[in-house]
Amino acid sequence: MAEPGADLKEYRDRARAWLAGHLDPRQPGDPAGADPAHWTEERDHRERSIQRILFEGGYAGIDWPRQYGGQGLTIAHQRAFDEVASDFRVAEFGILGRTTWGICVPTMLAHASPAFLTRHVPRVLAGEELWVQFFSEPEAGSDLAGVRTRATRDGDRWILHGSKVWSSGAYYADYGLCLARTNWDVPKHRGLTWFAVKVDKPGLAVQPLRQINGRSEFCQEFFDDVELTDDDIIGEVNQGWTVARTMLSMERQVGARTKMRPVTAARRPAADLVALARRAGRADDPRVQDLIARAHIIDVVQAELGTRVQELAAAGARDPASLACYPKLAAGTSTPARALMGIEIGGGAGLTWPSGEDPPAGVNDYLGARGQSIAGGTNEMMRNVIGERILGLPREPSYDTDQPFSEVVRRAAKWGRTESPKPN
């Protein structure tokens, strides 16, 4: 084989030529990033057709295994392609692109059976399957291993019952990757199993969730005795926590990657707040200029931290999932603070807008930015991971890891009344 650099250059050139022959050049205003708002049937059809073209041309799943429809090349080839492809109108699946390609399939590849992968991965590559995470529940967020959605064995079927929430973009997904409790008589981490759930199954209802900023990016699902089979299982029955750890690690890394603001020579620092200050007529106010500088500093620090963790992960650092807690905690603490700066710069008048129009970006950011301090693990969870796994401080006392989960739930309901549980 030729030296890797030459191989990559040739690959990049070939990809560019192919893209130029098969896809349109990217235009300003083409969809980009993870914004799932305004997903329409027409958009759905368009993105899936583009993905089909990429798949048939041999440019889908570039670093995924050949036996499941990928190209079996390296991550460097995938990155080279992504670079070239950024000039073209490739498929943009919004938030589900991120969960499907960045989280769900990599997790499957690590844990699912060959038969499962043969059924699903080629369909993902061809644009026929988009995956959502059925992860958090109304009663289980930070304590993910405490999920209560149950899958009960019934002959050769499984019956799924319960509810999931905060599933981004579920309303246009084909499948959900669902964590369910399959054994209540063992400690919480040992009775969990992952299932693939087709979103249009009888008994499954998807409802959009309206957020504090009025938008609907997330959904809640209700499973009313949805039927599943053994074929739908990812990993081993009751070994779901192993799979969950892989998935959490993928999620934190994807999260840290996408929260970066680009730092390049040509950028305009804190451009949003500079524009806001001008609109508010307060551009010469020293306090406003100080807030802009603080935001500028936040942006630089956030970008540098994200880049650093990526560099370390690429260099094979131990426990990159824990290291990713640094940029995540930085984003979780500074994003709401930065959004508040926008509110301060805009002043009282910035809190109003003409009736019938959408709220200004600063207001949306202010309400929406706090999601960053809880999504993918609250700031407090990040602090626990940093404190325990990185700094080596003693772990939190546990009240639930050594007892059957059914017993944990029963006793927890009596906390402070008839029982005073002791940690394990």
Partner 1 sequence: MRCAILDLPLSEDLDILRAATARFAQSEWPIEKLRAVADGGPVIESGYLQRAGELGWFAALAPEEHGGGSISGTGLLDAVVVAVERGRSLQPGPFVPMNVVAAALAREGSPKQQADLLLDLTAGTALATWAAAGPSSGWETGEAIRWARTPDGYALTGTAVLVQDADRADYFLITAGSGTGISQFLVPARTPGLAVRPVSSIDLSRSFCDVQLTDVVVPEVTLVGAPGKASAAVEHQLQVACVLTVAETIGTMEQDFQLALQYAKDRIAFGRPIGSFQAVKHLLADTSLLLEASRTVCDAAARAASDGGAGLELAAVAKAYVGDSALQLGQNCFQVFAGIGFTWEHDQHLYLRRLTMDAALYGDPAWHRRRLARYYELPEAK
- The set of catalytic residues is 251
Alpha-carbon Rg of the chain, whole angstroms? 23
Among the listed ranges 11-19, 48-56, 293-301, 413-421, the one in contact with partner 1 (CB under 8 A) is 293-301
Residue 323 contacts partner 1 per CB under 8 A: yes
Q: Which is nearer to partner 1, 24 or 396 (CB)?
A: 396
Backbone phi, psi, residue 268, to 5°: -110, 115
Shortest gap between Cβ of 287 and partner 1 (angstroms)?
Answer: 9
Among 15, 96, 274, 375, binds partner 1 (CB under 8 A): 274
Binding pattern for the stretch 391-410 against partner 1, x by CB under 8 A and - elsewhere: xxxxxxx-------------
Report the site for partner 1 in 296-315 (rule: CB under 8 A).
296-297, 300-301, 304-305, 307-309, 311-312, 315
Taking CA atoms, 15 is separated from 10, 32, 186, 332, in Å, by 9, 20, 52, 38
Q: What is the rounded end-to-end Cα distance, in angstroms, of the chain?
A: 57
Q: Nearest 5 degrees, angle CA 227-CA 229-CA 235? A: 125
- Helix ranges (H only) for 105-221 are 105-111, 114-125
Least Å from the CB of residue 284 to partner 1: 4
Identity of the residue, 347 or 359, whose beta carbon is nearer to partner 1 in the bound complex = 347
Which of 7, 44, 139, 285 binds partner 1 (CB under 8 A)? It is 285
Who contacts 236 (Cβ-Cβ below 8 Å, separation ≥6)? 193
Q: Which one-letter DSSP state was computed for residue 395?
A: P
Residue 254 and residue 68: Cα distance in Å, rounded?
23
Decide if residue 383 touches partner 1 (CB under 8 A).
Answer: yes
Interacting residues of 414 by C-beta distance below 8 A, sequence separation 6+: none
Q: How far is the CB of 269 from partner 1 (least distance, A)?
A: 5
**The tokens of 380 are what?**
């407090």
- 3-state SS, residue 206: strand
Only one of the segments 27-35, 207-215, 221-229, 279-287 lies at the binding site for partner 1 (rule: CB under 8 A); that segment is 279-287
Q: 312, 247 in Cβ contact below 8 A?
A: no
Paired tokens of 7: 């191989």
Beta carbon of residue 298, minimum distance to partner 1 (angstroms, whole number):
9
* Helix (H) or strand (E) segment spanning residue 168: strand 157-168
388 touching partner 1, by CB under 8 A:
yes
Alpha-carbon span 81 to 63, nearest angstrom: 11
Q: Is 284 in the site for partner 1 (CB under 8 A)?
A: yes
From the list 36-44, 45-53, 75-83, 295-303, the region that binds partner 1 by CB under 8 A is 295-303
Note whether 286 binds partner 1 by CB under 8 A. yes
Tokens describing residue 122: 């080629």
* 321 part of the interface to partner 1, by CB under 8 A: no
3 state DSSP class of 258: helix
Given candidates 74, 163, 364, 384, which one binds partner 1 under the rule CB under 8 A? 384
CB of 249 to partner 1, least distance (A): 17
> Does position 344 bind partner 1 by CB under 8 A?
no
- What span, in angstroms and rounded, lies between the C-alpha atoms of 348 and 360? 13
Total residues at interface with partner 1 (CB under 8 A): 48
Which residues lie near partner 1 (CB under 8 A)?
265, 268-270, 274, 277-278, 283-286, 289-290, 292-294, 296-297, 300-301, 304-305, 307-309, 311-312, 315, 323, 326, 329-330, 333, 380, 382-384, 386-388, 390-397
